[in-house]
Amino acid sequence: MSSATDKPTAPPRAPAVHVPRGAALTLLGISLVLIAFNLRPVFASLSVLLPEIIRQTGLSSANAGYLTTLPVLCLGVFAPLAPGLAQRYGMERTLLGMLVLLAAGTALRGHGSIAGLFIGSALAGAGIAVGNVLLPALVKRDFAGHTASMMGLYTMALCGGAAAAAAFTLPLAQAMGHSWTAALAFWALPAAVVAVIWAPQSLGSRGTRPRAPARKVRGLMRDSLAWQVTLFMGLQSALAYCTMGWLAPILRDRGLSGVTAGLVVSASILLQVAVSLLVPPLAVRCKNQRLLNAGLCVITGVALLGLLFAPLSMVWLWAVVLGVGQGGQFSAALTMIVLRSPDSHVAAHLSGMAQSVGYVLAAIGPLLVGLLHGWTGGYSATAWLFVALSIGAGINGWFAGRNQHVRVDDWGSKPAA
């Protein structure tokens, strides 16, 4: 029990670190954007080929649901490891290991076996989990004066990678002798190239600089705002992975060709690129982000219902609306992690919490779509799932938009090993 004369312990001051400037900062920013580009093709490339994979491997709808869910689940399971790995090896070296693991897992999916599909998806998901957590923390650390623009570029690159995979995977498969295995494995190439580009930065002076003392971040799991940020991230991600995993099969089931369905998904994601550039600066300028977050969730839910039930002649219109909603809510959710954190160290831990708990929750979305399709033989029942996820995301987005920082009630430190 503390005495009346005890004074509260101030948070330990982190040692001075080299902050990149000029050309080094520009190179770092470009590299982070290239890394972000590779964090979503794993999901979108599988989606557009799912009917072919089901037909040629004999997967049931339920097992296909497990396959689309597995990498999303790995995002949640492995995200808590990222802050500890970054503290031990440095953010730069940890990201290099992530790129190598991502390239290896993506290549393994092209083995052609069901085991290769599942194991490769798990490895790629584990790598992506680490990147998801550390990239926002790097933005908070090295781009403190350009948070809005960098978060916009980051989310733009994420959307761009997903859009490229949605648009080009099926044409690639057709060009490679109708080989879905080669088309899936192709997306290991850009990850490997970026790993080569990133290696000199991660193994150079920035990657080997002395680590700061390990600061304990406690209290996040008891903070209501941290949970609201987490649930906002998780529920909007569930909608996003339902879209990336199942929108193309849904549209093909409604009568669109495989190429056209892929182009619709790609067009929607490409619009997310533009919206993701606009939302972070808007969010930063707002007194709070409550209306912005909730409104974007409403737009997303309405658009998904339109794609399920509206005439196919309006599919491009609803794809545009979906792009506005999902691009906005995803970039808003990432921006909440940065805005609700007092510094980069807390941002890494809040990002870990939001993306570990959030992505485990998000994994339920595509799994339920597959199960509902298996049980009902169609996709109409998923409307109830989309409505429930949109309402939940909107409520938590409203509260996550409060102009506050998460509360960390203990800032103890210990020397780094």
- Output the CA–CA distances (angstroms, integers) from residue 108 to 36, 246, 326, in the order listed: 21, 22, 30
For residue 2, the model assigns a pLDDT of: 41
138 located within any domain: yes
Q: Residue 343 burial by CB count (10 A; 0-12/13-18/19+): exposed, middle or buried? A: middle
For the chain, percent of residues with pLDDT exceeding 70: 89
* pLDDT tier at 9, thresholds 50, 70, 90: very low
Is pLDDT at 182 greater than 80 in this prediction? yes
For residue 409, the model assigns a pLDDT of: 63
Mean pLDDT is lowest, of 24-38, 64-78, 133-147, for 133-147
Q: CA-CA distance, 389 to 237, in Å (whole number)?
A: 9
319 located within any domain: yes
For residue 20, the model assigns a pLDDT of: 54
Highest mean pLDDT among 2-11, 260-269, 292-301: 292-301
The pair of structure tokens assigned to 188 is 């290991």
* Kind and range of the H or E run holding 413: strand 413-414
Residues 330, 157: contact at Cβ < 8 Å?
Answer: no
pLDDT per residue as tens digits for the range 25-53: 788 888 889 999 999 898 888 878 888 88
The mean per-residue pLDDT over the stretch 238-249 comes to 86
21 located within any domain: no
How long, in residues, is the chain? 417
For residue 417, the model assigns a pLDDT of: 33
State the number of CA atoms in the 13 A half-sphere of 337 facing the CB.
Answer: 33
For residue 412, the model assigns a pLDDT of: 47
Domain that holds residue 145: 27-406
14 located within any domain: no
For residue 398, the model assigns a pLDDT of: 95
* pLDDT tier at 416, thresholds 50, 70, 90: very low
For residue 318, the model assigns a pLDDT of: 95
Is pLDDT at 305 greater than 90 in this prediction? yes
188 located within any domain: yes
Question: For the chain, how many structural domains are there in total?
Answer: 1
| DSSP state letter for 414 | E
11 located within any domain: no
* pLDDT tier at 102, thresholds 50, 70, 90: very high
* pLDDT tier at 170, thresholds 50, 70, 90: confident
Q: What is the pTM of this model?
A: 0.71
pLDDT per residue as tens digits for the range 345-392: 787 788 878 878 888 888 888 889 888 988 888 899 999 999 999 999
151 located within any domain: yes
The CATH number given to whatever domain includes residue 395 is 1.20.1250.20
